[in-house]
Structure 1
Amino acid sequence: MTDFPEEYSLFNMEYAWSNGYKSIFDHPWHVLELPSESGLDLDVAASLGKYAPLTSGYIWEGEYDGSIDDAISICMPNGLLIKGLSLHQKEYNGHFYNDNNELIIIDGRTAGCAEGLLIREDALNEFLNTNDYVLFWTTLANKLYKTASSRNEYVQSDWSGLYYYENGEIKGAMRCVGVYPHDVR
């Protein structure tokens, strides 16, 4: 799975009926397939289901026409969240409100408190339950550490994990998928 997509072809706060918006947000689903290097003996590619990244990175760089001075970079919800929770922005980039003008989603960077989107738990639960969706995260990590035998000998371990949101809790685990020597010279 890849990182969330970054969009350069929209204007911030573009109307949902515009062609640019529709081309990006109206087709959010991707097929998740078992990789061929999985080691399993399969005659056909195994589809594990469909997924939709719930966020997109929006970037609008400074323009030669002077319309903005600095670049704008925000994390924004995808079309499923925008439509499902009836969200819209008002005067601040990265702040998304529902039809009752309640703040539902905020880009944590705009508030200086987190990376990515922050969403009200009650709204998230309503969205997931109404649509019978499962929220999950895939994780990759590696750790580089010195061995006790030498100053210049290092070992690297690679980790992979899957976490999911269920009944207000985040569940899941990571596992080590490989350990090998690492030369830092």
Structure 2
Amino acid sequence: MKLVILDRDGVINYDSEQYIKSAAEWKPLPGSIEAIARLNQNGFRIAVATNQSGIGRGLFDMATLNAMNDKMMEMVFRLGGRIDALFFCPHTADENCGCRKPRTGMYEEIAARFHTELKGVPCIGDGLRDLQAAETVGGQPILVLTGKGKKTQAAGGLPKKTIVFADLAEASRHLIDHA
């Protein structure tokens, strides 16, 4: 089975310092929805693992998060793709949970759900914590320069095996070409 783990905000959709707090604010990055559909059509399963501390901060509720995710999944579906699983951490950093990236709780749940090890599994994110979680579970860290990606790259300290792409569309082309 070919599996890809994606972060959401900054990878699939535009991100905001003020958080994405409604389905109306949730807007896909150019080419991201098509990239997910293309990955599906080339035999990849898609899991999304996203920190959503806006819930823990009281900025939005579960119904709002579900509306944002439903919008994303519907857009992917309309292009002939699907998101096979979606995992989120609702906690703030202060809660010290095991699921908030860079911790690996969501990745461990993904491995259990898909009955697979994550060694070498592409994990695409725009933040250092995405890449650190990928490295910890033995996945392939992939940085996209959308969202916080350019700042993440400039700050340095990336895991050694990190591959960098302009965006999810470019990363997906690479994964399909090298599958």
The TM-score normalised by the length of structure 2 is 0.23
The TM-score normalised by the length of structure 1 is 0.22
The structure where strand makes up a greater share of residues is 1
